[in-house]
Amino acid sequence: MKIVSAFAAVLLLSSCAPHHGIIVASKNFTEQLILGEIAAQQLERKLHITVQRKLNLGGTLLAHEAMLHGDIDIYPEYTGTGASAVLRIKAPRDPAEAYIAVRDAYLKRFNVVWLPPLGFNDSFAMVVRAADAAKLAKPALSAASGRSWRLGVGYEFVTRADGLAALDKTYDLKWQGTPSSMDLGLLYQALDQRKVDMAAGSSTDAQLIDSKYVQLADDRHAFPAYNACYLVRKETLEQYSGVSDALNMLQNRISDDTMRQLNRRVQAEHEAVEKVARDFLATQP
C-alpha cells in the first residue's frame, strides 16, 4: 500500500465521530482476520461487552496510525514488524528480549500496550519444493549457497530492511535475475508452476502443512522474531477493566502449527473466519 493512500485512509477514519465500545481491528491478510476475530469473540464471551470490528483495515502503517488517533483499540501485531517498520530499530535476536524492547518503546512513545505473546512466530520463511530441498546437504539456508535460485517475493520483502537486505547480508545466496514480486497468495502457485525456485513466504502459511514444500531453516538468524501479540491502547485498558485479563488468557495458546491449521481452514477449506475463531475458542478455558 502506498503511504499517501494509507494516510488518506487514516484521515477518513479520524473524521468519524468518537466511537462507543471497543473496536478490534486487523490488517489485511487471513491470519490477521482470524486473530482479530478471536480477540473480538474472546472479549464478547468473557466480558459481555459491545465489540465493534474493523477487520481487513489495511497494512501496518494504517493500523498503527488508526490506533494512535484513537480510531481503533486493539489489533494483532508482530514484534519484528513493530521494531523494523514502526520503531525503526534493530530488535535483539532473543525473542524475549525483542518483546521487552518493543513493549517498552511502544508504551513510552505511543501509550500502546503490548500484551504477552500468543505463542507463535510468524517470521519470513524461505520455501522451496521438497525435491529441491532434498538436493541440499541439509534443509537450511546456509546449505543453499551453491546454486542459483529464481526468487519469488511479496511486494514488501524487497523494500524492508528485515527482508531481502537482511537475507543477502547473512547468506551468500545467488539469485537468477531480479526477484519476481507478486501477491503473497500467488507464491506457492509460482513454485508449483516452476516460475520460481524459492519463495519468501511466512512460517505460518497454510501451505507449509503440505509435504511438497520445505521451509529452509534460517540457521544464521537473518530474520528477527515475529512473535504475535495483541496491541491495546493504554486508555482502553484503563476504561474497560478486564480486557487485559480476557486477552491474556490466550497467552501461549496458539502454536505455529495451530496458526497454520487455522489459516488453512479459511484459505483452503473456505470456512468463515467467524466460525474458525469460534471453534478455536471453544477449545480454550
**Residue 4, pLDDT score:** 37
Q: Which residues contact 55 (CB under 8 A, 6 or more apart)?
A: 24, 25, 26, 32, 33, 36, 37, 273
Please list the residues that pair with 124 across neighbouring strands. Answer: 202
What phi and psi, each to the nearest 5 degrees, are found at residue 27? Answer: -80, -175
pTM of the model: 0.86
Q: Confirm whether 3-121+226-281 and 124-216 share one CATH topology.
A: yes
**Residue 20, pLDDT score:** 61
Cα 89 → chain centroid: 18
**Which ranges of 158-255 would DSSP assign to H, the alpha helix?**
164-170, 187-192, 234-239, 243-248
What phi and psi, each to the nearest 5 degrees, are found at residue 134? Answer: -65, -20
Q: What CATH number was assigned to the domain covering residues 124-216?
A: 3.40.190.120
CATH of region 3-121+226-281, choose from 3.40.50.970, 3.40.190.10, 3.30.360.10, 3.40.640.10: 3.40.190.10
Cβ–Cβ < 8 Å for 130, 213: yes
**Residue 121, pLDDT score:** 96
d(CA 144, CA 173): 7
d(CA 194, CA 44): 46
Regions of the chain where pLDDT drops below 70: 1-20
**Residue 160, pLDDT score:** 83
**Residue 238, pLDDT score:** 96
**Residue 91, pLDDT score:** 86
d(CA 183, CA 280): 28
Give the start-to-end residue ranges of the domains of the chain: 3-121+226-281, 124-216
